[in-house]
Structures are given as structure tokens and as C-alpha cells.
Amino acid sequence: LIDNIIASAQPDSTTYYICAAYFSKSGKPDKCIDLLRKNHNLYPENKFPAFEYLSYIYSTEDWNLLGKESAVIAEQFPKELYPLQVNAISKIQLKNYREGIEVLEKIRELSLKNNDTTALLNTYSLLGDTYHELGNEAKTFQFYKKALAIDPNNLPVLNNFAYYLSVKKQNLKKAYTMSSITVAKEPDNPTFLDTFGWILYLMGRPVEAKSHFKHAMLYGGKENAVILDHYAEVLYKLKEYDLAFIYWEQANNIDRTLNIDSKIKERKEQIGKK
């Protein structure tokens, strides 16, 4: 029926959207993309078909195609933020961080010009995340501070800021304050619980840290190798060695790149020396 509609109907947005929705739901993303592209080309002056096209590509996580098409559409609609935003995300996902920063700076300029604080907040947050990937912690913290100046209770920014401070083992009191806000607002979020628990551990409070990690285990923490690794460190500190090694083994099975097998060997040797 859908093939007959495409073959016989006069092309218009209704036709394309109905057929594209069918192909999307039936697991044929290439056909859906093709129809949304045709619909965009049918109405090149209208931003909405263009944005629908980009949104669907985004949902497929085809970052190469998204980067290519969003760059073209950004030129077609130079005053619009959305094509630039997904273009920046595509570059970041492809680890082209410096190119991503260039696009984010364009978004920042346009957001300031339009007095769009929501877009500016998201841009500062992404700039902070991207500079972290480049190892530039000064810029990371600079942009997180700018984001929090707009929204002091932005939970993802508070969590990332706190966690990166903990990784650097810097200003743990500030990290504790920021992280405590996130777990108060979302007490079942395993990522936030991990950050808060890890900060407590670094502050020499492993008993308190343990309770937060136990809670994180109930809400998806067992599926994250980093959270499991952190929990094992806390348990090891509390001399609950058998349980610590169980969680390290689980973490190692999830992500071999963390080199946890070497840690397990080293810690077992340490116990043997005591």
C-alpha cells in the first residue's frame, strides 16, 4: 500500500510523512531518510521539513550523514540555531573536537545576539564537555561556571563539574556541595550517586560512600564499569575484599579497556603481603 501511495500520489508533505513514518517504524531507516530528504527538497525555503529531516538522521546516530546534511542546511538557514547545534554534536560524536568547538562558538555568538539563554546554557555545557575531552580543564571549568551563572541548579553541569574536580582531586568541598544538589534532586540517578559516593570516598568517608553506591546498584549501576570500579574501591577500603573483587570482575567483564584485571592482580598481591 505504501509503495502504491509513493508511486501514484502527487508528492506533498502529508504523503511523504505518512510513508516516512511507516518506513521508520518498520525498520527501514534508509527509505525514511530518502523520503524526508525529498520532502525537504520539495520545500527548500521552509525550515520545518529541513529540521524534520535532520531530527530523524540524529535519531539514527549516523553522525557522518548528520554532519554533512546539517552543514548544508545551516547555510540555507543562517539565522537558525538547530542545524548548527546538530552539526556540532555530529563533530563531537566523531571526536572532531576542535571543529566542534568552532561550531559551538558560532552558536554562542548567535545565542548572545538573540538573547537566547536556553541555547547559551546548552552551548556552555557542551563547550565544557568538549574542552574536557581535549584535556583543557581550565576551559572546562570556565564554561561550566558560565553555564551555572545562567542556571545554578543545572544537574548535568553540576554533576560533571563535581566529578571532574574529584578526578583532579581539587576543591572537594566545592565538588561535594554541587554533587549533593544533584542527588537531592534525583536520588535514584546512578550517575549522580556515583559522583557523590566517589567524592565521599576521596574525602575519607567510605562508610557513607558505600550506602550511595549500594543505592546506585539498584538503579542501573551494575551495568556501568566505572561505577562498579568505584564501588569496589570503597569496599576494598573497608576491607570487604571478597565483595570488592566480585564487583571488579563484573566491571572488567563490561569494559576491558579500564585495565581492571591488572588492578585485581595488584590488589590481591597487596592483601597477600599483609
Q: What is the mean pLDDT of each run of 10 residues along the chain (274 residues)?
A: 81 88 95 95 94 97 98 96 98 98 97 95 97 96 97 97 94 97 98 98 97 96 96 97 96 94 92 68
What per-residue confidence (pLDDT) applies to 273?
Answer: 55
pTM of the model: 0.89
What per-residue confidence (pLDDT) applies to 253?
Answer: 95
> Which long-range contacts (C-beta less than 8 Å, at least 24 apart) are formed by 206-211?
206/234, 206/237, 206/238, 207/238, 209/234, 210/234, 210/235, 210/238
What per-residue confidence (pLDDT) applies to 4?
Answer: 84
What per-residue confidence (pLDDT) applies to 252?
Answer: 95
What per-residue confidence (pLDDT) applies to 57?
Answer: 98
